[in-house]
Amino acid sequence: MRKRISHRRRHKNPKDTETGIDRGMDRYFLGGEWKILGFVHIKPPRWTREYEEMRVRDLVRRIQDDLEELLARAYPTYHEEWAQRFAPNYWRKFPITYEGYLRCVVNKSVAEELQHGLWERIISPDETTSRKAAREYHRLLQQFLREEPKRAANALAFLTTTATAFLENLFVKRTALMKEIARTCDLWPVNLGLQRKRVKRKLTYQLARLACARHYLIQLGLNSKCDFPSSPRGGAKSVSPFRLAATELYTKLLMLKQDPKRHVWFPKVTRWAKRLFALPVPMTKSSGSDWWKVAKVYLYERWDKAQEEFKPLIEHLGIKYPIELSSKMPYESNIKSRVIDNSLKDAFIALARPDL
């Protein structure tokens, strides 16, 4: 007889937990399903307003928003696909698509891009002129919706390669400054290319600027003083769900450990928190076991409080969720051990750097 394990857990007061982490930072691997599939949280197109009197931090935020806006326009159904798959209840309540929005709410900038003076004719007090202009808007909009993703993707590629060239130039002109920055990063944008070459009547491809890129990254001292690992999300590279979850776990522990306002996340500094604060950074092969002892306590606590956060990892092991116990797997602890003590542990320890 099978027994179904309820994934609901009673939430304890943060002061009663072993970690003592307050709500807000005690969540783990939320949205794991869409992260595994390479989805990045991008808002729908044209939901961004202009900023005024920007300082450096405002400029960074604005550029980030503009890059996300280009990505959103290159892939206008991104949010729609994500919501239909991972937030169906939300989608049924707010089924707004980019195309539907532009058709229902006539956008001034779009109207002017479609045809100069079209907006003025649409808002004309003359009903005949306005109606005719509205029909023209909807006729031209279809072609606009087909062409805009190509323009947006092209612009994103152009801006990215240009920004990468700027970084190379800054390395030449401001070497010390760029080295200081690159040491704290484990990835760096480099302009590479493919060069076609004919060998024995066969067309082959070779990487262009590979030697230049290698020399450039070595001279930068890339990844020599990097604490935080880069996120493996994006979809271009196949990544194990456990590697993704382990990277997110390590990043979260680093944030809890190094945040100047970490006292906010710990209403009471527990023994577990003190052990976390004492861990050396970055995690190396020799300190990996100490890091895992701290991480394991956090994972066990999350399993007891919100087992659903582990759903994509449980299902990746071929186990149905909610968990159903059987003669082959009579105890929930067996599954917990497979997920945390085996698979997640191996992926987490693999993040450790070699000892220097």
Sole residue written with tokens 């690159």: 182
At 36 the pLDDT is: 66
At 268 the pLDDT is: 81
At 1 the pLDDT is: 43
At 53 the pLDDT is: 55
Q: Which of 9, 17, 29 is nearest to 241 (CA)?
A: 29
At 233 the pLDDT is: 64
> 207, 192 in Cβ contact below 8 A?
yes
Cα dihedral value 262, 263, 267, 272, nearest 10: 60
At 13 the pLDDT is: 52
Q: How far apart are CA 258 and CA 265, in angstroms?
A: 12
At 119 the pLDDT is: 92
Q: pTM, whole model, 2 decimals?
A: 0.65
CA distance to 168, 170, 174, 219, per residue, from 178 (Å): 9, 7, 6, 10
pLDDT tens by residue, 192-237: 999 888 877 788 888 999 999 999 999 999 988 888 887 766 667 7
Residues of the chain with pLDDT under 70: 1-16, 22-28, 30-56, 59, 232-235, 260, 327, 329-330
Q: What are residue 196's DSSP bridge partners?
A: 205
pLDDT tens by residue, 173-185: 889 999 999 999 9
At 70 the pLDDT is: 84
Q: Tell me the H-state helices in the chain.
A: 32-36, 56-74, 78-86, 88-93, 98-104, 108-114, 118-122, 127-173, 175-182, 210-220, 241-258, 262-265, 271-277, 288-305, 311-316, 332-336, 345-349
